[in-house]
Amino acid sequence: MKKFLLVALLLVLSVVAFSRVTITMTAGAVGKELEVLYAQLDTFMRQNPDIKVSVMPMPNSSTERHDLYVTYLASGEKEPTILMLDVIWPAEFAPYLEDLSADKDYFELGKFLPGTVKAATVGGKIVAVPWFTDAGMLYYRKDLLEKYGFKNPPKTWDELVTIAKTITAKEKNIQGFVWQGARYEGLVCDFMEYLISFGGDVLDDAGNVIVNSPAAVKALQFMVDLIYTHKVSPQAVTTYMEEEARRAFQNGQAVFMRNWPYAWALLNDPKESKVAGKVGVAPLPAGPSGKSAATLGGWMLGINKNATPEEKAAAKKLVKFLTGYDQQLYKAVNAGQNPTMMDVYKDASLKKAAPFMVELYGMFINAAPRPRTAKYSEISDVIQKYVHAALTKQTTPQKAIEDMAKELNKVLGK
């Protein structure tokens, strides 16, 4: 009898193991996001023992990640099952993604920030679920500003330069301002913030190229001047992505930093950061136009159209889990990444862990989008090329903007 029961148990276990669905998910490793994701997936798999999730770590550079996706999806492969998508990719990758329109109530998309759902909608179809949202913002050393008599963070770019020069002239081994100047997608985000704050833009509402303007030249000239004229940013900033800027600021090597919300938790970790408890957050400064601009960032979760029906069903369960209230709150508190579900911003534990997310809510929901077009990756490549050429003094800001406009018109067939 015991032998019979043992055989029966083994048969049951083998059937369970055989019926387990395995899905794959791409993920980034900026800050604590991968560590937090692994903890979330452990919880999910305990709750769903019939689903196994394997993570495919991706490069931190969104440009490199994009190129890998092009390779994966164009090949018609069913993996990765779930793709972590930059907010500006849905239009390009929509043909390869599962249409989730019929599942909008299942994912409770009516409770999400409307702008994030709009960004996930292509041709009337919902092709991804917003996971977390982002906006560029200014981190500053509260202790150093107070030490030198500055009561508030800078409201304008000129004020930032003045404060940075004042402090770096008196403090040893510290830079004024670090940001993302490497040739990758992050540079486009930074450039857009300067450009809009100076009164310019890349495209108008009709899709016409309008970047060749005095405002654009002045914005790019200001970026160059930060490095070579004002000398408040190091020349090395032309090689910085998010993590290089974050590490410099976290090690006490900069007065100001432009970065995304994820940096907050890391900067205030006393075990890892030399500036824990000394950091303030503010909207990015305004330019001559009087505008302050924060580029809209954020990431979504899309499902590979080539996955099997069983894999798609499992993927939907995981996407719902990760984008639900509890996990968005967990991610915001532990990884410093802003929720896309509106009610999470009302949670007292969020305000305690990351008060700026609540205090700067208006900035996040009004962040400026990058050009929304299926040819965005080509547009981004052009912007990166010419902005970086100016930052590294291979060309002048005037010539860079003129050549950028010409090439953008070619890309768009104008």
Query: Between β-strands 254-259 and 175-178, what pairing exists: parallel, antiparallel or unpaired?
Result: parallel
Indicate if the pLDDT at residue 8 is higher than 90: no
Indicate if the pLDDT at residue 147 is higher than 80: yes
Looking at the fold, whether 158 and 190 belong to one and the same domain comes out as yes
Indicate if the pLDDT at residue 4 is higher than 80: no
Name the DSSP class of 268: T
In-domain check, residue 122: yes
For residue 193, which of 115, 289, 336 has the smallest C-alpha distance? 289
Looking at the fold, whether 207 and 313 belong to one and the same domain comes out as no
In-domain check, residue 12: no
Looking at the fold, whether 168 and 207 belong to one and the same domain comes out as yes
Mean local confidence (pLDDT), 91-108: 96
Number of DSSP helices (H) and strands (E) in the chain, helices first: 18, 12
pLDDT digits (tens, 9 = 90+) for 148-205: 999 999 999 999 999 999 999 999 999 999 999 999 999 999 999 999 999 999 999 8
Looking at the fold, whether 30 and 125 belong to one and the same domain comes out as yes
Q: Which residues contact 367 (CB under 8 A, 6 or more apart)?
A: 115, 133, 134, 135, 136, 294, 295, 296, 297
In-domain check, residue 121: yes
Looking at the fold, whether 304 and 276 belong to one and the same domain comes out as no
Looking at the fold, whether 144 and 190 belong to one and the same domain comes out as yes
The residue behind tokens 């679920």 is 129
Query: pLDDT at position 195, please?
Result: 98
Query: pTM for the full model?
Result: 0.88
Plot region of 124 (φ>0 → left; ψ -120 to 50 → alpha; else → beta): left
Number of structural domains the chain divides into: 2
Looking at the fold, whether 49 and 105 belong to one and the same domain comes out as yes
Looking at the fold, whether 242 and 312 belong to one and the same domain comes out as no
Looking at the fold, whether 244 and 312 belong to one and the same domain comes out as no
CB 21 within 8 A of CB 311: yes
For residue 103, which of 79, 86, 120, 123 has the smallest C-alpha distance? 120
In-domain check, residue 80: yes
In-domain check, residue 15: no
Plot region of 338 (φ>0 → left; ψ -120 to 50 → alpha; else → beta): beta
Domain that holds residue 92: 21-135+296-365
Average pLDDT, the chain: 94
In-domain check, residue 11: no
Confidence of residue 16 (pLDDT cuts 50, 70, 90): very low
**Helix axes 214-228 and 397-411, enclosed angle (nearest 10):** 130
Looking at the fold, whether 211 and 335 belong to one and the same domain comes out as no
Query: pLDDT at position 12, please?
Result: 46
Q: Which residues contact 155 (CB under 8 A, 6 or more apart)?
A: 285, 286
pLDDT digits (tens, 9 = 90+) for 230-262: 999 999 999 999 999 999 999 999 999 999 999
In-domain check, residue 195: yes
pLDDT digits (tens, 9 = 90+) for 333-351: 999 999 999 999 999 999 9
In-domain check, residue 14: no
Looking at the fold, whether 114 and 217 belong to one and the same domain comes out as no
Looking at the fold, whether 197 and 243 belong to one and the same domain comes out as yes
CATH number at residue 252: 3.40.190.10
